[in-house]
Amino acid sequence: MKLPLIVGIPLLLCAAASAQSIVSTFTGGNDGWDVVNASYSGHIVLPTGASTPAPFDGVEGLPAGSLRVGDVFGETGVRAPSAFVGDRLAWFGGRISYDIKIRFTDATPYPAVWLVGATKTLVFNAPSPPLDVWHHVDVPLLEAGFRVNGWQGVAATRGDVMEVLADLRGILINTEWRSGPDDTNVDNVEFAQPTSGAICYGAACAGSNGRWPTTWVTGNVASGSTIGIEVTDGVPGSFALIVVGFGPANVPLFGCTAWINPTPTNFFLGLDGAGRASMTGTLPPASAGPLATLQSVLFDTAAPNGNGLVLSNAVQMTVP
């Protein structure tokens, strides 16, 4: 479906959002990272009970200064400090990136990154880095490539990723790429928000399918640009109402939370057999700054809240 979108929306009453990054460059120490026993299977409950400060290497690095880890545990990884965790839903659609240098490998795909939530651990598998050279890794914070509760677990949905990011308990990077001795350096870790102009906020409430329904914007938010709006993880064959707002809110509604101040502008979509729906639209001419907010109301007759409706997360769109 292609429709003109958000014509005449009032200016938001909040400040313009900007993409943020949390970075560890290890130029003078380990930045509070530690070495942990990272499980390839099952949900990781942090703290793991076995950890040690990550050794600092003042010579290796891009530039000099990095973490250097050997074969410490059965499945060894490095864990980010507290500055990286918490409510990180606004990082959905962004990325985790880092540089890694390994000296031993089984030459097979293994977990590269773990995102640890309250009840789920998301595992991103990757091919082995090449030996004895610095290798850059980018992990998009979207559902593609992530698995739930184990490197051979079921494929993550968009709702799984948003749910974990909304209560992020840990970020782990794998340093063990061989069943035997290991010697691995990690440098320049960056945890970055999306730069598209769309930022998620506000937790959804789970539907009768046990999933967190999601709303997301694809494409770059810019004056006159074409974007996509996607709803996922709803009840297959049901319906969703995408509501356009003019600013953030926090109001209890239907046993969930309304995260936007609604306008009369909304779009009614049917969900397919996978519980998804999408539409495209052209943004109006707009000056730099906040443009609009979005949230979806999904019809769910068996919803746990007993109201027959559940609400998704919200999205704030900002023209750079």
Amino acid at 9: I
What class does CATH assign to 21-192? Answer: mainly beta
Handedness of CA 19, 25, 27, 32 (dihedral sign): positive
pLDDT tens digits for range 232-272:
999 999 999 999 999 999 999 999 999 999 999 999 999 99
**What's the CA gap between 204 and 314, in Å, rounded?**
8
Distance of alpha carbon 298 from alpha carbon 309, whole angstroms: 6
Kindly state the average pLDDT of the residues 193-210: 96
What local confidence, expressed as pLDDT, does residue 51 receive?
A: 84
Top-level class of domain 196-319: mainly beta
The predicted-structure confidence for 76-111, as pLDDT tens digits, reads as follows: 999 999 999 999 999 999 999 999 999 999 999 999
The mean per-residue pLDDT over the stretch 219-235 comes to: 97
For residue 50, what pLDDT is reported? 75
Res 17 pLDDT > 60: no
**pLDDT for residue 3 is more than 50:** no
Average pLDDT over residues 186-206: 97
> How many other C-beta atoms lie within 10 A of the C-beta of residue 254?
17
Phi, psi of 100 (to 5 degrees): -140, 145
What was the pLDDT predicted at 4?
Answer: 37
pLDDT attached to residue 15: 31
Q: What is the pLDDT of residue 8?
A: 33
Helix%, strand%, coil% for the chain, nearest 5: 5, 45, 50
The answer to whether 12 and 292 have CB atoms below 8 angstroms apart is: yes
- Under the banding of pLDDT at 50, 70 and 90, the label for residue 2 is very low
Average pLDDT, the chain: 93
Q: Is the pLDDT of residue 6 over 50?
A: no
126: number of Cβ within 10 Å: 15
Report the C-alpha gap between 175 and 76 in whole angstroms: 6
Q: What's the pLDDT at 69? A: 98
Q: What are phi and psi of 89, to 5 degrees?
A: -60, -30
The C-alpha atoms of residue 193 and residue 130 are separated, in whole angstroms, by 28
**Is residue 5 over pLDDT 50?**
no
Q: What is the pLDDT, as a whole number, of residue 10?
A: 31
The contacts of residue 314 (CB under 8 Å, 6+ apart) are: 200, 201, 202, 215, 245, 248, 259, 260, 293, 294, 295
What pLDDT does residue 232 have?
Answer: 98
Tell me how far apart the alpha carbons of residues 301 and 298 are, in angstroms, rounded to a whole number.
Answer: 10
* Domain regions of the chain by residue span: 21-192, 196-319
Angle at 184 between CA 180 and CA 187, to 5 degrees: 160
Rounded to whole angstroms, how far apart are CA atoms 111 and 103? Answer: 17
Residues 224/280, Cβ–Cβ less than 8 Å: no
pLDDT tens-digit readout, 29-84: 999 999 999 989 999 998 777 789 999 999 999 999 999 999 999 999 999 999 99
- Mean pLDDT confidence for 169-189: 97
What is the model's pLDDT at position 48? 72
AA letter at 198:
A
Distance CA 104, CA 130 (A): 9
For the cut 70, the answer to whether the pLDDT of residue 14 exceeds it is no
